[in-house]
Structure 1
Amino acid sequence: MEHENLLRKIYDLSDVELALLLSLLAREHCLISTPTTELPELVEELQLCATRTFGLRPVVVPCHSRTTVEDFNAALLVAASSPHPSGHVRRSPTDSRLKSEQRHRLHVPPLSPLTMTTTAPTELSAASHIANVVIARDLDRAPRLVQIQALELLRTRRIFTRTAIYAVPKQFLFVAVVSSDSKVVEEAGTRRVVAAQRLVPHLNDLLYLGHWHDPEDGFANIEEVEQSEVEEGKEEREVERTAQSFRSGADEGQRHGWSDNNSWDAESAASSESVLKTSYGQTTADAPAPSRSGGFTTEERDSPNDAVPPAIITTAEISTLAHLAEQVRVDVDVLRYQMNIVSFLRMHRAVAGGVTPTATKHFERLARSLAPLHGLDFVTPALVALAARKVYLHRILLTAPEKERSMQWGSDLAAIEAVLEGVGPEEVIEDVLEAVTVPV
């Protein structure tokens, strides 16, 4: 019954929430892309997903060409009035060699994602720690050194400042948010479509899965918050109208001399107004349970010192799904199907690289992780195909027409350009899935 309730909640999640859930389940990290015009909404949606769906504290790290490593490190940290989620921050043995207590921690005031500058950060308080969810917007536009710092953060699960070491919390997720826009470039008289920008190869390969969010699918959490704000506005207006009627009645009573028996005095009107606010605002213990949002209002979301609201998917439930994924069975025919997909991807004429050993490991893990989300204890060919679409979407490197394999044997460049025209990672994956025989 408990597993059925969990599956019911999973079926209600959006595509973005499912991408985050799969990454948290595997303790890996992901890349999410969308058109440039939709990036602000996607970032806001990811923040709401972290707080409302998983009960985790997010931070947005805006990146650009002038972002420094110090800016990146400072933006990862959040000031907390409560202890670190995973306990005290681990310290390196070399910390004891510092000459003074002032050098033990750096301190900066909390940074706003929209107002962060490229100036060097000031000192960070000892209570600061790395946020549970790091949303790196436009990470592909950051300098190479910043991307390498992000790579070290994911590999070692900690960052080094000038005088301190900050370890990531136990529940940690890094989300790279990039634009999916492409551009047309001209090389040697030929025109071809290429990705606008890419992450450094090792960082890109370390990201567990890639997801492209279609703006037509909407942003579920943003829409729910907006609807909640509209309903709250209606309730407040109704309370104000009712209170106004009581005040009007009190004024009318005073004109008729009713105040002597305290029927319509000011205290009665104030008391009635208080009762109405309790009824409409549902502040009593008899108020109904919170909705999918957990009763998390906009004011509560904007206050950094408030407690994290109840999560839809708790940490315990994520651990349960991870345990179930480890017990998933893979038939030998399904495993052969998976390996054939990898081989066909490597041999595809449009692929120049990206089908790495790390990608193969992530491919197998994601196929296993998808099974519990569908109520299965075994991997099906359909789950393998779905995992291939998510694992290799951001990894596949397309070859230039002049470097296509058949050019070594005298193929015509114009013919190759015609064959590769309009071919992207999605087309390559679908071509391979159609070519590989599905086990019965």
Structure 2
Amino acid sequence: MANVQGIHSFEELNDLELAIVLSLTAQQHCIVFADGSTDHLLRELQTTIGNRFAVQSATVSCTAITTVDELNESLLVIDDSYQRSPSDAGETYADSQKIELGRAHHEFPGRRHSSSPSNGLDNRTVADIVLARNIDLASESVQVQVLELLRSKRVFTRTAMHTAPSGFIMIAILSTPGGRMTKHLHDMFATSHMHEKMRTGPVQLIAPEPLRRASFMQRSDIEQLRSLAATVHMTAEVAAYLHNIVLFMRLSRYIMAGVTPTATKHLRCVAHALAPLHGLDYVPPSLVALAARMVYGHRVVLATPQTERSLQWGSDPDAVSRMLEGVTVDVVIDRVLEDTDAPL
């Protein structure tokens, strides 16, 4: 713990950097969205990954006409780790690939991509981090293929099978804050984050080299955080508190479809991953509450005056409609946390 915090001060990271660190530590996928155009958000994520993390990334922009073959090809990068040294990691991983799917234009800045290396073997692999822009706009067949990738950690092209690296994560950039993917794919993303645009001017695409090397998070740092998260202790009282939050979420009259078992698994995983980022080797109730806001924010489907459950027992529709006025997902989660007694 001391070694990781001595190199990286997590208090100084911005919101996107913290979201990426948390996802890499928990080894879970996340959703990021922002008001307005996703162009600025995509550039910030690409810059953050290139300047701060020693990982390979791929960027894919989906459209309604994206095909499965285009998606599969866009996920792959050259597996060149065997020919890189730690001293040039800052130069190696700062670049990311970008493919605009559904268009004739393909762009590969800073990295050579080929499906036919000189040795005749396809040595490509799925990138460590995949930025999936507008994935909610993709066709159902493409989203099913993404779901298969997240579940099996492998993808098939016409020539080979390619596996995802250990700790592979996908960051979905939705077209709108309220955008939703197919049901099962949406549930595969553990956390969600609303990013507010910075007001300090345009994004700096490449940080100065000395700053990049000083702030770079190496793969060993990420592995250490994962090891620390795996050894985090959760008491029986805190585990019961987490369980009660799940029960209250399922019983809330404001939530139409309840919450899934996958969400419960993600809640426990994210709570453990948050502990080392706060310098702790145990999970306090406050981190469980914080994890609940991250895990349930994109999952909760609010009840409507037509679907609220008390209507089955004769509630007045007008009274139900007035009760639901002004209720948001954040309000529902806050009420659940207020109604759940935290252990002392």
**How many residues align structurally?**
320
1:94-109 alignment, distance < 5 Å: none
Report the Cα distance in structure 2 between the residues aligned to 1:131 and 1:141, rounded to whole angstroms.
Answer: 22
Secondary structure class of the residue paired with 1:124: coil
Partner of residue 136 from structure 1, selected from 119, 128, 132: 132
Note the 1:245-324 alignment, pairs <5 A. Answer: 290-291=210-211, 293-294=212-213, 312-324=216-228
SS in 1 for 2:241: helix
Task: State the 1:342 CA deviation.
Answer: 0.6
Max Rg structure? 1
Distance 1:53 1:354, change over 3 A: farther
Query: More displaced, 58-67 or 138-147?
Result: 58-67
Question: Which has the larger helix fraction?
Answer: 1
Secondary structure at the counterpart of residue 351 of structure 1: coil
Match of 1:49 in 2: 48
Report the aligned-residue RMSD. Answer: 2.7
Matches within 5 A, 1:216-235: 217=198, 223-225=203-205
Alignment of 1:182-261 (within 5 A): 195=178, 197-215=179-197, 217=198, 223-225=203-205
Residues in 2 aligned to 1:218 and 1:113: alpha-carbon distance in whole angstroms: 28
Percent identity reads 39
Distance 2:149 2:83 in 1: 18
The Cα offsets for residues 236-293 of structure 1, whole Å up to 9 and x where unpaired, read as xxxxxxxxxxxxxxxxxxxxxxxxxxxxxxxxxxxxxxxxxxxxxxxxxxxxx811x3
Q: Deviations over 1:333-361 (max 9, x none)?
A: 21111111111111111112251111111
Q: Normalising to structure 1: TM-score of the pair? A: 0.67
Counterpart-to-counterpart distance in 1, 2:53 and 2:318: 51
Letter in 2 for 1:55: A
Partner of 1:162: 158
Aligned to 2:103: 117
1:149 aligns with one of 142, 145, 151: 145
Kept in 2, the 8 Å contact 1:83–1:127? The answer is no
Q: Give the superposition deviation at 1:83.
A: 4.9
CA gap of 1:158–1:325, structure 2 versus 1, over 3 A, is: same
Matched with 2:3 is 2
Question: Match of 2:90?
Answer: none
Please state how far the C-alpha of 1:57 moved relative to its aligned partner.
2.1
Contact 1:42 1:219 in 2 (8 A): no
TM-score by length of 2: 0.85
Aligned partner of residue 170 in structure 2, secondary structure = strand
Map 1:48-87 → 2, pairs under 5 A = 48-79=47-78, 83=82
Residues 341, 171 of structure 1: alpha-carbon distance in 2 compared, 3 angstrom cutoff:
closer
When residues 70 and 4 of structure 1 are mapped into structure 2, their CA distance, relative to the original with a 3 A threshold, is closer
Per the alignment, in what secondary structure is the counterpart of residue 210 of structure 2?
coil
Moved over 6 A (4+): none
Deviation at 1:392, TM superposition (A): 0.7
Unmatched tracts of structure 2, length 5 or more: 85-95, 106-113, 117-121
* 1: CA distance, partners of 2:80 / 2:217: 24
Higher relative contact order (CA 8 A, sep 6+): 2
Corresponding position of 1:173: 169
Q: Please state if 1:436 is matched with 2:319.
A: no
Displacement of 1:171 in angstroms is 4.2
Q: Does 1:384 align with 2:288?
A: yes
For residue 424 of structure 1, report the CA deviation from its aligned partner.
2.4
Q: Report the counterpart of residue 302 of structure 1 in structure 2.
A: none
Deviations 1:163-211 (A, max 9, x none): 3211112342211111344xxxxxxxxxxxxx3x311111111112111
Aligned equivalents of 2:329, 2:27: Cα separation in 1: 25
- The yes-or-no answer on 1:339 pairing with 2:259 is no
Structure 1: runs of 5 or more not aligned = 86-109, 182-194, 230-288, 295-309
